């Protein structure tokens, strides 16, 4: 049986890692989860990967018989992503943009964000695939979505956008939608849009499934 915890070696001086691993071993822990929020530590600038610090942390844990579940770090984008690709920032239901500097500030419906996510995920998978004490992978962290994701779900080209009002019941109040840009995530006055707004789970589930095809299995 595995008993463990989250661990963030990037938050501590390297001199502390050995002490932490020893204490975890003495407490009966035999597994930790690493790197879920460490994208910028592994890719400090676009296309430049620095995995050496994580290699060292894994080696310290291995010496204390602690296995590791590595996480893809796509839940927190580096500042350089938000600066170079501001479209990756999530959009709230009221149409405003989430600012960089908080967790879960990304939007998975943006193709460039998915491309960047795939690149760091593949780089991790290739680098750590043969690390003996890596026993599993976690994809992202607490998947969620944004209004941008919602509008992409509502406005999928399965049927004309003009039929959206009939489908959701908003046509009763002549809240007819002529274009994707008119879709709002504010469900206070548009109760019929609550269901589509919550369909973000569908999109994020697809992202989760996609992530598992990138990380190594077995």
More confidently predicted of 84 and 214 = 84
Tens of pLDDT, residues 183-208 = 555 544 455 555 554 554 445 555 55
State the pLDDT confidence band at 99, using cuts at 50, 70 and 90.
confident
Tens of pLDDT, residues 162-185 = 454 545 555 544 555 555 444 555
| Percentage of the chain modeled with pLDDT above 70 | 64
pLDDT (average), residues 121-143? 90
User: Does residue 90 carry a pLDDT above 50?
Assistant: yes
Tens of pLDDT, residues 102-126 = 877 888 888 999 999 999 999 999 9
pLDDT at 148: 44
* Beta-strand pair 67-71/31-34: parallel
State the pLDDT confidence band at 153, using cuts at 50, 70 and 90.
very low
User: Does residue 157 carry a pLDDT above 80?
Assistant: no
Domains of the chain (ranges, CATH numbers): 4-144+201-214 (3.20.20.80)
pLDDT at 146: 45
User: Does residue 8 carry a pLDDT above 90?
Assistant: yes
């Amino acid at each position: 049986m595995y008993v463990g915890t989250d661990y963030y070696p990037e938050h501590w001086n390297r001199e502390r890692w050995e002490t932490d691993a020893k204490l975890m071993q003495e407490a009966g822990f035999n597994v930790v989860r690493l790197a879920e929020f460490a994208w910028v530590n592994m890719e400090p600038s676009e296309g430049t990967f620095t995995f050496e610090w994580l290699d060292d942390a894994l080696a310290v844990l291995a010496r204390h018989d602690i296995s590791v579940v590595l996480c893809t770090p796509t839940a927190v984008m580096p500042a350089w992503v938000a600066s170079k690709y501001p479209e990756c920032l999530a959009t709230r239901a009221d149409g405003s943009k989430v600012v960089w500097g908080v967790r879960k500030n990304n939007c998975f419906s943006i193709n460039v964000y998915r491309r960047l996510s795939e690149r760091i995920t593949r780089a991790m998978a290739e680098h750590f695939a043969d690390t003996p004490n890596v026993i599993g992978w976690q994809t992202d962290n607490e998947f969620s979505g944004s209004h941008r994701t919602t509008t992409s779900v509502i406005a999928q080209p399965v049927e004309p956008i003009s039929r959206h009002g009939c489908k959701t019941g908003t046509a009763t109040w002549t809240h007819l939608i002529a274009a994707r840009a008119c879709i709002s995530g504010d469900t206070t006055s548009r109760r019929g849009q609550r269901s589509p707004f919550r369909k973000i789970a569908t999109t994020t589930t697809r992202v989760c499934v996609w992530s598992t095809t990138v990380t190594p299995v077995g």
